[in-house]
Structure 1
Amino acid sequence: MNTTHRTPARAAVHAHTLSELYAAPEILRVVNVWDAVSARVVSELPGTRAIATAGHGIAASHGYPDGERIPLDLMLAALERIVDVSPHPVSADLDGGYDDAGETVRRAVGIGISGANIEDRLRPLDESVEVMTAAVRAAEAEGVRLALNARTDAFVLGGDRGVDANVADAIERGRAYLDAGATCVFVPGVLDAEVTGRLVEGIGERRVSVIGLPGALSAAEYEALGVARISYGPMPQNVALTALKRLAQDLQQDGVIPEGTEKLNDM
């Protein structure tokens, strides 16, 4: 593997590139990966400009549930292999920061990570700002202006408090995270055009990041609303595993490998 990828210098260059991609008029489409081979396959596509990892997907591929249940060392080892096989900027899902967002980011930058998602988990706002600030400052200490895609769980964990309350909370938190040095604000949830427009108006054009889930808008529709980035979380892995499950069922019924199957696992 190419260990020259594992440097803060490379991360610094790619962090600048990633920030420019967020600010560009065209929405950044990132297909989430979970291991070296999925990263390589996506990296080789002509339309790929950046790679994003899915923390849930990496954890699942090692037999762990989501939510920082996978040991940090194992998560970082998986990220290292992804960085090694991709020539593109890599934005890593670092969950909630593993109790020390600064140290986690310092180690991630050291292996070439140029961007990160960190969840606020609806902690009190002042605590959440401290987490985001620690992440940004730790990267800066390594010479990297981290492209932090600060995640607010205003919709995911908002319960039954209502859409208006979720929007207001996401905007307040998003603005605070941008003030703390975040590049973009990730608001996961199935967001319709009206809600998305309010979030963009409140947080800023090309400052909002969304997730493409069943029932969500298309990337082009989000782009027209001023969204910076769309990612897909664990869904690409779910699609791949669904295909594997259906193939296995077919093979158990005396099926055959489909014609046209590509050999994509040469590393």
Structure 2
Amino acid sequence: MTQTENAKTFAALHRPGDPLVLFNIWDTGSAAAVASAGAKALATGSHSVAEAQGWPDGENLPLETLLAVATRITATSKLPLSVDFETGFAREPERLADNVSRLLATGAVGINFEDQLIGGETENGLYPVYPLVEQINRLRAVRAAAQAADIDLFINARTDLFLRQKDGATHPDLIDAAIERGQAYAEAGASGFFVPGLVAPELISRVVEAVRLPVNVMSMPGAATRSSLATLGVARISHGPFPYWRAMAKVKAWAAEAMA
């Protein structure tokens, strides 16, 4: 299929109540394995791609390396590919738009676009989130770049609010702010809303009801099953870095066994 056709196919896979499962990959080998398991689409995870290339997560991986990985995946698989683009490797909308154009040239049809401010002043080792108005303008720049390329890019707008507060007891206090961001991101041109770190069913349900975008959650310890998330109206389930971590743990165990 063409990139345009893949973009349409990928968007159509986001069905509330019948969530698309994305078992995140990091290279062509993992892409082939996941595709062989019956995947309908592929998605990289920034942590996995970076660590597999010897870099820590957080846009330390050179953009050129990420683009090369994406290019090889689209060259070896016909499935739609979404790339975890973190914050777009730029703060200014102009540079951000240029980076999105370069990513689209790889054949990718979707991105994760997060609102944490990488490089900002940290608190307890965590970056802050972008001011809402600034992130809205950045989202508009991403959408404009996609429109200029005539590709209906699936922009999965991610909020890092819940990842910054790992204590789930604090999450109810963040819901209103998260919903405000989801609604604003929808108006700015986002295609989906990603709330990694949020696992409480009643809170996920509130987001689904209040935000008109397909909602994406991350499968992680403490998260509900796919069937339960489907009942809540979730449209997409990502696995983040967990497939990579489990694969590397398996390799380590096999290596230790072989050398015993």
Q: With the length of structure 1 as denominator, give the TM-score of the two structures.
A: 0.87
Residue among 165, 171, 194 paired with 1:186: 194
Question: Is 1:246 equivalent to 2:241 in the alignment?
Answer: no
Structure 2 counterpart of 1:242, one-letter code? A
Q: CA deviation at 1:25?
A: 4.1
1:97 matched residue in structure 2: 88
Q: Higher Cα Rg: structure 1 or 2? A: 1
Question: Are the equivalent residues in 2 in contact too, given 1:120–1:152 (CA < 8 A)?
Answer: yes
Cα gap change, 1:107/1:123 in structure 2, threshold over 3 Å: closer, same or farther? same
Structure 2 matches for 1:59-208, cutoff 5 A? 59-99=50-90, 100-121=95-116, 122-158=129-165, 162-204=170-212, 207-208=214-215
1:40 matched residue in structure 2: 32
Aligned-partner Cα distance in 1 for 2:179–2:154: 19
* Matched residue count: 243
Question: Is 1:221 equivalent to 2:228 in the alignment?
Answer: yes
Question: Are the equivalent residues in 2 in contact too, given 1:43–1:87 (CA < 8 A)?
Answer: no
Where 1:174 maps in the other structure, the secondary structure is helix
Aligned-partner Cα distance in 1 for 2:76–2:44: 13
Aligned-partner Cα distance in 2 for 1:34–1:173: 29
Q: CA deviation at 1:177?
A: 0.8
Aligned-partner Cα distance in 1 for 2:36–2:166: 40
Structure 1 counterpart of 2:64, one-letter code? D
Q: Which ranges of structure 2 fall in alignment gaps of 5 or more residues?
A: 117-128
Q: CA deviation at 1:190?
A: 4.2
Q: CA deviation at 1:11?
A: 2.4
Where 1:179 maps in the other structure, the secondary structure is helix
- What percent of counterpart residues are identical? 37
Structure 2 counterpart of 1:193, one-letter code? P
RMSD: 1.6
Q: Which has the larger displacement, 231-240 or 186-195?
A: 186-195
Question: Are the equivalent residues in 1 in contact too, given 2:109–2:154 (CA < 8 A)?
Answer: yes
Structure 2 counterpart of 1:35, one-letter code? D
Aligned-partner Cα distance in 1 for 2:65–2:52: 11
Question: Is 1:54 equivalent to 2:45 in the alignment?
Answer: yes
Q: CA deviation at 1:19?
A: 1.1
Q: Which ranges of structure 1 fall in alignment gaps of 5 or more residues?
A: 254-267
**Residues 80-130 of structure 1 deviation map (CA, whole Å, 9 limit, x = unaligned):** 111111111101000111013312211111110000001111100001111
Aligned-partner Cα distance in 1 for 2:13–2:32: 20
**Residues 193-217 of structure 1 deviation map (CA, whole Å, 9 limit, x = unaligned):** 111111111113x621010011111
Structure 1 counterpart of 2:244, one-letter code? Q
Aligned-partner Cα distance in 2 for 1:243–1:52: 21
Aligned-partner Cα distance in 2 for 1:112–1:120: 24
Q: With the length of structure 2 as denominator, give the TM-score of the two structures.
A: 0.89
